[in-house]
Structure 1
Amino acid sequence: MTPSRTPEPAFRWVIVAAAAAMLAIAMGQLVNGLSAFLAPLEREFGATRGQVALVNTMGLVGLAIGGIVMGALADRVSIRAVVLAGAVMTGLCIATASQVTALWQLHLLFLVAGALGGGALFAPLFALVGTWFRTGAGLAIGIVSAGQAIGQGGVPLANALLIESLGWRGAFLAVGLASLALLVPLALLARRPGARPGPAAAAQPGQAAGGAAAMRPATVIATLSLAVLCCCSLMSVPLMHLAPLVQLCAIPAPEAAGVVMVMMLAAIAGRVAFGRLADMIGALPAYFAASAWQTALVVMFTWIDDLGLFYIFSPIYGFGYAGVMTGVLTTIRALTPLNRRAGATGIILAFAWIGHGLGGFLGGVFFDLTGSYDLSFAAAMAAGLVNLITIGALAWWVLRGPAGRATVNGSFAAGSGRI
């Protein structure tokens, strides 16, 4: 058997499954799990919706800061140690949230949970998954991203049910302890692949060829950072405020959380589908298609006032929006060198989390100012348009020379994926 046909290790799918499960648990809490707590925390602390939404924003700011530091650290030290630390900190911070006596304490706890918990999981895990695949990495990343979608849909629903039966304090404690029990064993599975023989291994340090190699890493990072800042500002508005929007239509909280769950169930399929699409047509075109989908549809949520229509429309939106994160991650993999990938992923995703926090916070502020979500969702669409312009500019940059066109046509080194 020739070296180029050496089979890839079966353990790579264990890494995919473990990463998907960990991100479902951790990101489900840190990205939009707080949505079920908005109304209870408003009543408990006499706060505005914007002040409560700031708790989520602090967690995402923590993710941004922690992702930069932990991503760079994961390029240099044991990936298992980084991921294990993130697992422990996520569970401890969520459990401790049950004991707070003031809203500022929740702000601080979620900042720490994001920085030392989620920040040590998200970028390092996605970078790790990419190192296990010479081919078909888009599908693998899509599957892991789908795991995150399961968490972002299931955790808010589980939180809503737990709050009804245990109160908000009991819900935080139960979820925190469950997170510790599940995340720690999964973190122990994390490890890098061994050295690979033959040409594929030799190609790993540089990875990209053609137009991608001609682009400076700093240019790639800066452009993608602006793009994800805008696309995630859009994305966070329905993630954080869809359930409260549905409740404004006199629909009970569990049913409102069910709408989010249906959207995220569709997102599971969407993330896998757009990962496969990235393998077929390239990462940037797949990223653009998903971004256009969510930009065109997001404002339509404010046109609906019937539970049945919410259940019909939310999975349509969810399938397309879900491809955005898969597109971002596959594009990072396609345009960054292997030996800097976790660090680059951490920096770019820092802007993604800032966008998530900014969009969720402004969505609450605009609601407080106007008494409706019309302006919140319109602003989200505007951010999406800026994202599309930025992605288009990046695609033009990559494609503008013969080397760039050759790269898109498949001249990447083994394992790098397609732009």
Structure 2
Amino acid sequence: MSHPAADRYQPDSPYAWLRLAVALVIGSVACVGSWSVVVVLPAMQGEFDTLRAGASLPYTCAMLGFGVGQIVMGRVADRYGITVPIVVGALLLGAGYAAAGLSQSLWQFAAAHGLLIGMGSAAGFSPLISDLSHWFRRHRGLAVVCGASGSYLAGVIWPQVITWGLANHGWRATHFGIAVAVLVIMLPLAPFFRRQPSAATFAAAEAKSAGARGDLGLSAGQLQLLLCIAGFACCVAMAMPQVHIVAYCGDLGYGVARGAEMLSLMMLLGIISRIGSGFIADRIGGAATLALGSLMQGVALFLYLWFDGLQSLYVVSGIFGLFQGGIVPMYAVVIREYLPAKQAGVRIGLVMSVTVLGMAVGGYLSGVIFDYFSSYRMAFLNGLAWNLVNLSVVCWLMLRARRAAPPAQLAAEAGR
């Protein structure tokens, strides 16, 4: 007979869903570091008198810090639980935004983003995703993508808040305001996450992932490498619209405010995409869902080559958000399907850090291409090429997983 107190904290329990809701709040606040620098990019270019590539440098530094933070914070979460990364992340974000507001040069501004803001924001992504993956079995795909939607919810809310702050108080005061907000919201919520999954939950997950990995015919290291390659390639492609849409609209004469609106629209529809991909992943598996998302992202990038009117850019940006939103969380779903559960934090963190590196490289590379060609057309083509690399790797993995699936499982999926 099970104990009522123990049942309360089982996977897929009401407590697990409450934990997901609080995690979503933490993620939407912590991931401000991924978006604030995008909105202030044009202001930084004028403030520090630099080219577009130079103005893109703080974003690249933030993404590099975010990437390193995924591994470090993931390792800490595996060892001590998620509460410690949340507290540390809040303190780093507070210090980082205060330092950014005091910056007197581009290098100081970039260093604040790389060493503090990026590292702090990492607490709101892969450590939260890996933690949530332990609290769900039946609805793991849905839970993971909902948790990952915190970063996109941040992309919906923060660009509008920061645009208002820039217009009314200036960029320095806006950064100080963000520093206060993250401390006030994140620190009081951190103690909620002190409880960790039971030993029985971990044991069951370990047995299931070991069997699936054996059927796939790849070692843990080989699968990790493939996921890292795919993740890097997809995010180099993804960075072009996400990082440069504000500046792109400014160059076209539509104004940076229109670009910020497109970015928010992209992120809002990306949330819908992420949640939808969770439902799909719970039915057809993470690898197949990842391949579908990669294909559709390529379609959206292709559309950017042909449409640059104001209304059409709103439409294409919305399509891009709908198509690509579920891609990155699927790497976490695949990891939890095939790799050891007790290493989920560091393994998800490693793949996520590579995706962030792809965003950093893609954002900077797009700026370099723009400076060379004085046009974003070649940057979009560059994104398409990287997306093809991602699609090739993911399709190979999907087909291998399908061949490894037992006939009974395939028949069950076909009958759904």
Q: Which shows bigger deviation, 315-324 or 304-313?
A: 304-313
Tell me the CA shift for residue 193 of structure 1: 3.5
Partner of 1:391: 394
- 8 Å CA contact 1:60–1:114 kept in 2: the answer is no
Partner of 1:109: 112
Identify which of 354, 369, 373 aligns with 2:372.
Answer: 369
SS at match of 1:63: helix
- 8 Å CA contact 2:101–2:172 kept in 1: the answer is yes
Tell me the percent identity.
26
Alpha carbons of structure 1 residues 410 and 170: separation in structure 2 relative to 1, 3 Å: farther
2: CA distance, partners of 1:407 / 1:106: 56
What CA RMSD, in Å, does the superposition of the two structures yield over aligned residues? 2.3
Partner of 1:203: 204
- The CA deviation string for residues 231-254 of structure 1, in whole angstroms up to 9 with x for no partner, is 011111111101111222211222
SS at match of 2:267: helix
2: CA distance, partners of 1:264 / 1:273: 14
Tell me the CA shift for residue 337 of structure 1: 1.2
Partner of 2:287: 284
- Is the aligned partner of 1:9 residue 2:13? yes
**1:354-365 pair list within 5 angstroms:** 354-365=357-368
Tell me the CA shift for residue 282 of structure 1: 0.7
Unaligned runs of at least 5 residues, structure 2: 412-416
SS at match of 1:250: coil
The code of the aligned residue for 2:23 comes to: A
Tell me the CA shift for residue 368 of structure 1: 1.0
Tell me the CA shift for residue 379 of structure 1: 0.5
Alpha carbons of structure 1 residues 291 and 408: separation in structure 2 relative to 1, 3 Å: farther
Partner of 1:416: none
The code of the aligned residue for 1:26 comes to: A
1: CA distance, partners of 2:259 / 2:118: 30
Alpha carbons of structure 1 residues 307 and 186: separation in structure 2 relative to 1, 3 Å: farther
Partner of 1:237: 240
1: CA distance, partners of 2:252 / 2:303: 15
Q: TM-score, normalised by structure 1?
A: 0.90
- 8 Å CA contact 1:212–1:407 kept in 2: the answer is no
Partner of 2:23: 19
Partner of 1:415: none
- 8 Å CA contact 1:90–1:118 kept in 2: the answer is yes
Q: Which shows bigger deviation, 235-244 or 148-157?
A: 148-157
Identify which of 42, 48, 68 aligns with 1:39.
Answer: 42
Q: Which shows bigger deviation, 135-144 or 149-158?
A: 149-158
Partner of 2:142: 139
The code of the aligned residue for 1:16 comes to: L
Partner of 1:155: 158
Partner of 2:169: 166
Tell me the CA shift for residue 388 of structure 1: 0.5
1: CA distance, partners of 2:408 / 2:366: 38
- The CA deviation string for residues 55-110 of structure 1, in whole angstroms up to 9 with x for no partner, is 11111111222222221222112421122111221122122210000111112111
Unaligned runs of at least 5 residues, structure 1: 412-419
Tell me the CA shift for residue 313 of structure 1: 2.3
Partner of 1:406: 406
The code of the aligned residue for 1:299 comes to: F
2: CA distance, partners of 1:371 / 1:322: 29
2: CA distance, partners of 1:168 / 1:203: 50
SS at match of 2:40: helix
Q: TM-score, normalised by structure 2?
A: 0.91
Alpha carbons of structure 1 residues 102 and 49: separation in structure 2 relative to 1, 3 Å: same
Tell me the CA shift for residue 407 of structure 1: 9.6
Partner of 2:100: 97
Partner of 2:414: none
- 8 Å CA contact 2:33–2:118 kept in 1: the answer is no
